[in-house]
Amino acid sequence: MAVRSDKMGQSWLLPPDISELIPVDHICYLVIAIVNGIDASDVEQKYMSGPGNPAYLRRMLYASSYPVRPLMLYGLRER
């Protein structure tokens, strides 16, 4: 299976670059730094050579689910 690449510097039509909308001290940059430090090469290697639709990189999935966990815990605690 092929692996889709993540494009952190991908441009939009408007605005030209999404990083122009995000402040320099935003937590998303911390999440990206933490996720880039995770070694997911063993897991990603499993998906590199196989048939089917391209899979997303594990780092991209980690980064998208990481900020949700504290919000879920906060919501459960507030019940």
User: Mind listing the pLDDT tens digit of every residue in the chain (79 residues)?
Assistant: 566 666 666 665 565 677 777 788 887 788 778 877 878 777 777 766 667 777 777 777 777 766 656 655 555 555 4
**What are the extents of the domains in the chain?**
18-78
C-alpha span between 54 and 1 (Å, rounded) = 6
| Alpha-helix runs per DSSP H in the chain | 27-36, 41-48, 58-65, 68-78
Contact 27, 67 (CB under 8 A): yes
Distance (Å) of CA 7 to CA 16, 56, 69, 74, 77 = 14, 11, 24, 31, 35
| pTM greater than 0.85 | no
Dihedral sign (CA 53, 64, 47, 36): positive
